[in-house]
Amino acid sequence: MAEMKKVATRDSYGNALKELGAAAPNLVVLDADLAGATKTGTFQKAYPERHFDCGIAEANMINVAAGLSTMGLVPFAATFAMFAAGRAYEQVRNTIGYPHLNVKIGATHGGISVGEDGASHQCCEDFALMRTIPGMTVMCPADDVEARAMVKAAYEMDGPVYMRFGRAATPVFHEEGFNFQIGKGEVLQDGTDVAIIATGIMVPEAIEAGKTLAEAGISARVINMATIKPLDEELVLKAAKECGKIVTVEEHSVIGGLGEAVCSVLAEKCPVPVKRVGVNDEFGHSGPAAALLKAFGLCADNIVAQTKTLLGK
């Protein structure tokens, strides 16, 4: 996929907010002293009167966003995933989730690919934390086109939303005009031997793995699951019934993320063998993003290896 254009989804987030801002005067953006890194600075330059820097006070930012939402505004609160889901968890739960307020959280720099910032900033627990909050929609886009469409869809829906965006540039494989729907997965490659269900920046890796498996005579169905909650249960069950085996792939802990969401559905409705590819029960460490992803098995080669092991090949 080297010939494809690459864009970091955090850039997509900033660009989508700026584009939405022109048509949505009730959209406001909050940041926690990271507008340059989260890319909300793009919105800030266009609409300075609707951008609020809350400083290094993430919990307060979430409370401010909650208050603004009760005034008919649609606030997008941005910071790193570690701070949005971790440091401000209590405020997200009690101030946004409990009263089910219309606040959108744009969490950037999620997962191992934060790279040199190290374990303290490599949040691999955010899906798990946000999934447990009743009524919270949890999403993670695979590329630039999907990310921009996701931001628009989040604005248009009523209720709390958590979106994770990446730091590293990733291949853009969707065509402009892609019809993104919250709660719906997407079959990118059909197959019958096994289904690979991936989210976020692992989707391009899953696509590559699917191609490699096809060359080895293994028919793999590749599914992009951008919405982790609510999960597209119909698509998961269809894949289980037609393929018989499932591999899940995520740049997140294997505990509490996409893999466990898929397993929960299958355990109750269609038990089949599942292999979860993600970060095992361990912290990350500092290093170049590409090297870390490979070291933690978050790459096409390991997806292929784990799939073959699951299939007994």
Strand partners, 162: 105, 138
Nearest in space to 101 (alpha carbons), one of 161, 24, 54, 59: 161
Distance CA(224)–CA(161), nearest Å, equals 19
For β-strands 186-189 and 169-171, DSSP reports them as unpaired
Distance CA(177)–CA(173), nearest Å, equals 12
Strand, coil or helix: 212: helix
Length of the chain: 313
Q: Which spans in the chain are helix H?
A: 9-23, 35-38, 41-46, 58-69, 81, 89-91, 126-131, 144-156, 202-215, 233-243, 258-269, 289-295, 300-311
Largest CA distance in the chain: 59
Cite the active site residues.
58
> What tokens were used for 11?
């850039």
Q: Going by C-beta distance under 8 Å and a sequence separation of 6 or more, which residues neighbour residue 291?
A: none
Residue type, 188: L
